Structure 1
Amino acid sequence: MIPVTGFNGQTVAVLGLGRSGLSAARALREGGAQALCWDDNPAARAAAEAEGFETRDLSAQGGFDGVARLVVSPGIPHLYPAPNPVIAAAWEAGVPVDNDIGLFFRSFGSGAWEMFDQPPKVVAVTGSNGKSTTSALIHHILQSAGRGSQLAGNIGRGVLDIEPPEEGGVVVLELSSYQTDLARALTPDVAVFTNLSPDHLDRHGGLGGYFAAKRRLFAEGGPDRCVIGVDEAEGRYLANQLAEGAVDDRLIRVSAARKLSGPGWDVFARKGFLTEWRKGRQVASIDLRQVRGLPGAHNHQNACAAYAAARALGVAPRVIEAAFHSFEGLPHRSQIVADAGGVVYVNDSKATNVDAALKALQAFPRIRWICGGLMKEGGLEALAPGFDHVAKAYVIGREAAGFALGLAGVEAEVCTDMDTAVARAMADAEPGETVLLAPAAASFDQYDNFEQRGDDFAARVKARLAG
């Protein structure tokens, strides 16, 4: 645990008692503060009380009396589409609002570091798509290189649940826009921006607010090194703002769409090969085509970002290459769940938006595509560049019929439920094809989360193969 510093003897309120909220309450108590907890869910309040925490309805009159700070869990809106009433009450009471990420960065360093020859470092990864895979891949590379590494944030453990790092240790954080938007302290050593596509727009008042939340990690965080994906205009804008000139090697530009050139530090993937250029010359090259755990151009972008972050930490190219080949991927993100009869079964349930699903479609040559769910804003037209890879679509979800109508030019069968979709796709699949779950939609119409949806797909595939 990372004890929260700076609030010894003070009362700090915690709103939202899920994983990050309870973790923050424990870390506050460990640091000498009194954690005052609230959640609208009575079961969550009971769980906090069972650990000895006091609960108080913070929206009630006088709810913030004696409170020094409010710590908010990431799922709670603080501005758009409307401020949560408790957050609005904190504003009125003049109580500063923060989150567990802000507490982590203000408390991460310790007096023991004075004895370290190599102080610990933090690598923070943000972006729309690929940040989980990129974060996990950086962590895997560091472990393969013999570097002490912990993975936390939006993936793995809560940031305050990790162990205090030892000398030379690295903490790899995946940070969502919800987390970067509200944190009052952001001080990573290396910060990574993967890409940007429309998502969570209601929480940020539009695309500009969404990008601004991501940008805070760099503009306010002041990292020593920045790894920036430049395949979108926002990434190119961010890279331009951060660099003091063309040869500023505090910035590493990353692309999976084109060759990068110039006197700076670049990492790019073209035709399946990752290449590192620095000061106008090639430093290293890696063939990604046979890296089973990183299929497709979107994963090649993840590989480039992770490679660049590892290089910024001093890891050698050949060590990184070996780690690529031992990386098995993450559950629900281009995860191979079975390979039978010449047909590969891939679970990409995390592809909850159109951009992520398109990247999944473009990663495989001929696909039996299971898709559908709770549709997001913007329609499905942007998926069209991947349709020539689709032999047939098998549509699930309560809106399956409407979803199928949006797949112009694709043969689509309305299956509604996962069991029917898996059965039909497996019956039709031929050797050399891929049965791919890449929903391009949220899961909440039929499942609690995308993980449950992906687990259902994997279980039904394995059951039919076993039977």
Structure 2
Amino acid sequence: MIPVQGYVGQSVAVLGLGRSGRATAAALRAGGADVVVWDDSVPARDLAAQDGFEIRDLTKAGAFDGVAKLVVSPGIPHLYPRPNPVIAAAWDAGVSVDNDIGLFFQSFATPEWDGFDVAPWIVAVTGSNGKSTTSALIHHILVENGRPAQLAGNIGRGVLDIDPAHDGEIVVLELSSYQTDLARALTPDIAVFTNLSPDHLDRHAGLGGYFAAKRRLFAEGGPDRAIIGVDEPEGCYLANQLGEGANDDRVIRISSGRKLSQGWCVFARKGFLSEVRKGRQVGSIDLREIAGLPGAHNHQNACAAYAVCRSLGLGPKGIEAAMRSYPGLPHRSQLIKEHNGVRYVNDSKATNVDSASKALQAFTNIRWICGGLQKEGGLDAVIPHLGNVAKAYVIGREATEFARQLDGVDAAICGTMAAAVAQAAKDALPGDVVLLAPAAASFDQYDSFERRGDDFIACVEAETM
């Protein structure tokens, strides 16, 4: 646990008692704060009461009397589409609002660091797609090369739930826009921006607000090194803003699909990763046979992880060897099994059209299981990438409307995962890929993309026994 510094004897309120909220309350108490908590869920409040926390209804008048700070869980909207009433009440009471990420950056460094030979590092990864894979891959490479490391944030453990830093340790954080948008302190040593595509637009009042939330990771404190995906205009803009000329090594540009030549850059083309510094290639990796990193979208993740690890002093050969042993993450281009010449791939994390499009480009002869709760913008962006789809099998409560938008694709309206997997398995021929890449959120039928992916796995196992 990271005890939160700066609030000894002060009253701090925590709103939201999910994983991060509970960890935040415990870390505040460990740091000497007087903690009061609230959640709309009665069971969540009961659990907090069992842990000895004072339950205070923060929706009531006067709830913020004597409170120094309100700490908000990331899933709670603070501004758009409308401010949460508790947060608005904190504003009216003059109480500062923060989240666990801000408290972490404020509290991670301690006087004990003065005795370390090598100060700990923080690597923070954000972007629309690939954050989890990039963060996990960085962590895997570091551990495989004997570097002490922890993985936290939007993946793994909550940021305040990790262990205090050791000499030379590297903490890798995956940070979502919900987390970067509100944090009052953001000071990583290395910051990564993978890419940008429309997502969470209601939460950020459009694409500009969404990008602004990501950009805060680079603007609030200024990392020592920024690794920026430049395959979208926003990334090009950000790299330009952060660097002083093409040869400023504080910025490493990365790309999947096009050759780069400015300063220090890492790019992947036709399955080969190249590192270029001052116009000379200084490293390369053949990514095509790395099973845990299929497709161009994963090659971008590989470029980002490679750039981070090179910034931390690792050599190309050590990075390559670790990449080859990387197992991949569940629900992200996860090969479940091969049966009768047919591969079954779980990419349940493809919850928007951009991530689904990337999955569709990674395979051929696809039996595509798709559908769910559509996000703003419809399916227009996925249409140009349907050339590899032999047939679509549509699930979800709005399966008929979803299928109607798949112009020119043979689509079966299945409704349930079991029906979709059964029909896809029946239709599939040797060499085909049955791919779950929904291009939609899961919440019409499941409480998370993980549950949806687990259901796919179970259905595949039942059909291929």
Match of 1:186 in 2: 186
Match of 1:456 in 2: 455
Match of 2:57 in 1: 57
SS at match of 2:253: strand
Please tell me whether the aligned partners of residues 19 and 158 of structure 2 are also in contact (alpha carbons under 8 angstroms): yes
- Report the residue type matching 1:437 in the other structure: L
Q: CA deviation at 1:183?
A: 0.3
Distance 2:192 2:340 in 1: 40
Cα displacement string for residues 356-384 of structure 1 (whole angstroms, at most 9, x for unaligned residues) = 00000000011000000111111112112
Match of 2:244 in 1: 244
Distance 2:312 2:352 in 1: 32
Q: Does 1:283 align with 2:289?
A: no
Distance 1:221 1:275 in 2: 30
SS at match of 2:214: helix
Q: Does 1:108 align with 2:111?
A: no
Cα displacement string for residues 90-143 of structure 1 (whole angstroms, at most 9, x for unaligned residues) = 000000000000000000001111011101000000000000000000000000
Distance 1:67 1:436 in 2: 51
Q: TM-score, normalised by structure 2?
A: 0.99
Runs of 4+ in 1 over 2 A off after TM superposition: none
Q: CA deviation at 1:257?
A: 2.2
- Report the residue type matching 2:239 in the other structure: A
Distance 1:432 1:385 in 2: 23
SS at match of 1:188: coil
Moved more, 13-22 or 425-434: 425-434
What are the equivalent positions in structure 2 for 1:95-174 lying under 5 Å apart?
95-174=95-174
Match of 2:390 in 1: 391
Cα displacement string for residues 213-238 of structure 1 (whole angstroms, at most 9, x for unaligned residues) = 00000011310010000000000000
Match of 2:328 in 1: 329
Match of 2:297 in 1: 298
Distance 1:241 1:253 in 2: 12
Q: TM-score, normalised by structure 1?
A: 0.99
Match of 1:338 in 2: 337
Q: CA deviation at 1:432?
A: 1.1
- Report the residue type matching 2:328 in the other structure: G
Q: CA deviation at 1:276?
A: 0.2
Match of 2:80 in 1: 80
Q: CA deviation at 1:246?
A: 1.1
Q: Does 1:417 align with 2:425?
A: no
Q: CA deviation at 1:342?
A: 1.4
Match of 1:93 in 2: 93
Q: Does 1:405 align with 2:397?
A: no
- Report the residue type matching 1:381 in the other structure: D
Structure 2 unaligned regions, length at least 5: none
Q: CA deviation at 1:23?
A: 0.3
- Report the residue type matching 1:175 in the other structure: L
Cα displacement string for residues 271-301 of structure 1 (whole angstroms, at most 9, x for unaligned residues) = 0000000011000110000001100000001
Q: CA deviation at 1:385?
A: 2.2
Distance 2:458 2:65 in 1: 51
Distance 2:347 2:366 in 1: 13
Cα displacement string for residues 237-272 of structure 1 (whole angstroms, at most 9, x for unaligned residues) = 00000001111001100000200013x100000000
SS at match of 2:386: helix
Structure 1 unaligned regions, length at least 5: none
Cα displacement string for residues 403-428 of structure 1 (whole angstroms, at most 9, x for unaligned residues) = 00100011000000000100011111
Match of 2:210 in 1: 210
SS at match of 2:69: strand
Cα displacement string for residues 24-73 of structure 1 (whole angstroms, at most 9, x for unaligned residues) = 00000000001110001111111100000001011211100110000000
Distance 1:341 1:77 in 2: 48
Please tell me whether the aligned partners of residues 368 and 391 of structure 2 are also in contact (alpha carbons under 8 angstroms): yes
Distance 1:260 1:385 in 2: 25
Distance 1:242 1:105 in 2: 21
SS at match of 2:387: helix
Q: What percentage of residue pairs aligned between the two structures are identical? A: 72
SS at match of 1:160: helix
Distance 1:355 1:399 in 2: 20
Please tell me whether the aligned partners of residues 24 and 160 of structure 2 are also in contact (alpha carbons under 8 angstroms): yes
- Report the residue type matching 2:99 in the other structure: N
Match of 2:348 in 1: 349
Q: CA deviation at 1:465?
A: 1.4
- Report the residue type matching 1:371 in the other structure: C
Distance 2:441 2:321 in 1: 35
- Report the residue type matching 2:443 in the other structure: F
SS at match of 2:464: helix
